[in-house]
Amino acid sequence: MNKDYLRIAGNVHLSYYVEAADILGIKYNIIFKNLTARFEYQGRHWFINNTALPVNNAPSSRLARAKNYANRILDLAGVPVPKQAKVETVEEAIDFFNTYKQVVLKPSQNLGGKGISILPQTEEDVRKAYQYAADHDKHQNVLIEQYIHGENYRILAIGEKVIGVVKRLPAIVTGDGVSTIKQLIENTNELRKTRLLMPIPIDEETVKHLTHLNLSLETILGNGIETTVRSNTNLTTGGTTEECSEIVHPFYKELAVKALKALDLEFGGVDLITNDITQPTECAINEVNYNPGLRLHYKVDKGEVKKVAVPIMEYIRDRYLAIK
């Protein structure tokens, strides 16, 4: 197929569903370019609005969006999750930090990795992280949770089927023996722009991460030497992904489906942390995304692209055809 689906849809998220519709013979019409499309099959129709699908119910979506509620529900269902607290003051955050030592602070309801601080080292760091998270939440609600060591994965599932798994890595640059880390980030961002990916921010979080590695923005890396430049793995802040569905142990796929069922969601992206995705071991689910974007699966840096929008559209099509 040679169609420019991004031009047709006007939105990268919507473009994947439009392409899937073509593959499956589903009619579509862009109602609001860059936002909404109407799909039709055998007299049934539905809408997709940006990343929002006609699948998950409203109460469950709201619960999943409120990360502290989702954490509690998953815990009650026997799904492993990090210890977490919603804190209303800096003092409460510092108490949690002094109890667990290694923590993450983040907004209660923000998306895309904004407002997150990972592994603050001192009480003063916690104060700054608390305010940073509050500034990125419209209600200034802040969560603090236990930091879980391991690799990060996004497991995408619909119904009771896992349709894609990617390993999520932090933003990385590779030295050339001449350029500073700042210049390497800027060069990497130019390449990311051509792939329609968000740039790696050069901000306080970047500086803090580099300082933790005894590096700075002015450090010149040796030729071929790699370093991470941020702690979080979000694609929107420079993260990279690797398709790894074929090596995932069934234990983790079943756990992802169990997490969705616990929240009464039919579709979602389950964020998992584990040291070994190939065998059952200690792990935790730190978030469930109720309307995940698909770029993680289509813009992989390693492995084959899985066109996950196709099984999603098949599920929606069959769901509507089953309605009497």
Angle of helix 67-76 relative to helix 58-65, nearest 10 degrees? 100
Sheet bearing 103-107, strands edge to edge: 84-87, 142-146, 103-107, 117-118
Domain that holds residue 43: 5-56
Final residue before a domain boundary, out of 230, 251, 268: 230
Q: Are 70 and 264 in contact (CB under 8 A)?
A: no
Would you give the DSSP letter of residue 293?
A: -
* 1 has a pLDDT exceeding 60: no
Average of per-residue pLDDT across 138-150: 90
pLDDT tens string 168-214: 999 999 999 999 999 999 999 999 998 888 899 999 889 989 998 99
Question: Model-level pTM?
Answer: 0.88
Residue with tokens 């236990």: 146
Longest CA–CA separation in the chain, Å: 66
Average pLDDT of the residues in 251-278: 97
Would you say residue 279 lies in a domain?
no
pLDDT in tens, 270-314: 999 999 999 999 999 999 999 999 999 999 999 999 999 999 999
- 87 and 142 within one domain: yes
User: Residue 149 in 3-state DSSP?
Assistant: coil
Q: What percent of the chain has pLDDT over 90?
A: 84
CATH of the domain at 116: 3.30.1490.20
**Helix, strand, or coil here: 210?**
helix
Is residue 266 assigned to a domain? no
Mention every residue, 6+ apart, whose C-beta is less than 8 A from residue 62: none
- If DSSP codes are grouped into helix, strand and coil, which group holds residue 187? helix
Is residue 42 domain-shared with residue 92, that is, in the same domain?
A: no
Assigned domain for 313 exists = no
Do residues 129 and 91 both lie within one domain? yes
Q: How far apart are CA 274 and CA 286, in angstroms?
A: 11
Any domain includes 291: no
The secondary structure element, H or E, covering residue 319 is helix 309-321
Q: Give the contacts of 20 (CB within 8 A, at least 6 positions apart).
A: 26, 307, 309, 310, 312, 313
The single-letter DSSP state of residue 133 is H
Average pLDDT, the chain: 93
When pLDDT is cut at 50, 70 and 90, the band that residue 136 belongs to is: confident
Number of domains in the chain: 3
- Is the pLDDT assigned to residue 324 strictly greater than 70? no
Q: Classify residue 112: in a domain, yes or no.
A: yes
* pLDDT tens-digit readout, 61-91: 999 998 889 999 999 999 999 999 999 999 9
pLDDT tens-place string over residues 91-132: 999 999 999 999 999 998 766 667 888 889 999 999 999 999
**197/191 Cα distance (integer angstroms):** 9
Pair (143, 177) in one structural domain: no
pLDDT, tens digit, for every residue of 224-254? 999 999 988 888 888 989 999 999 999 999 9
CA angle 79, 293, 32 (to 5 degrees): 140
- Residues 94 and 137 grouped into a single domain: yes
Q: Per-residue pLDDT averaged across 11-29, rounded?
A: 96
Q: What is the mean pLDDT of residues 14-39?
A: 97
9 and 52 housed in the same domain: yes
Measure the CA angle with vertex 291, ends 290 and 292; round to 5°.
105
User: Residue 98 and residue 82: Cα distance in Å, rounded?
Assistant: 16
The pLDDT value given to residue 114: 77
pLDDT, average across residues 257-271: 98
